[in-house]
Amino acid sequence: MVMSNIEAFARIADSYEAYLASTDSITTWLLFQPIEDLERLPENELNALIDQANTFPFLTYDKSAENIFSNNIETWKNMGIRQPSRTIEKGTVGPLV
């Protein structure tokens, strides 16, 4: 269940990034247009562009996965992630104990 939450968050973050890139493009375009050109746009189109430039969705996620990983070292051990070594002696690396 935790991995599916992480994967779902990654998908949401990807779509959020695409939305922000689009919003940035629209905002940049609006800022660099001469006022005269903007005045020639139909009012509903100009309003739609301004609305999109000023609308930011909230990025929410399920914090249960975060709590599991941050509060339980056993979770990391069960995932097979090695802990960093304490010392390097004669070319061998050993885990911290």
Q: What pLDDT is attached to residue 96?
A: 46
Task: Identify the domain containing residue 55 by its residue range.
Answer: 2-95
Q: What pLDDT is attached to residue 77?
A: 67
What 3 state SS string does the chain have? CHHHHHHHHHHHHHHHHHHHHHHHHHHHHHHHCCHHHHHHCCHHHHHHHHHHHCCCCCCCCCCHHHHHHHHCHHHHHHCCCCCCEEEEECCEEEECC
Say how many domains are in the chain.
1
pLDDT digits (tens, 9 = 90+) for 30-87: 999 999 999 999 999 999 999 988 887 776 666 665 666 666 666 666 666 555 554 4
Full-model pTM: 0.50
Would the pLDDT of 88 be above 70?
no
pLDDT digits (tens, 9 = 90+) for 8-25: 888 888 888 888 888 899
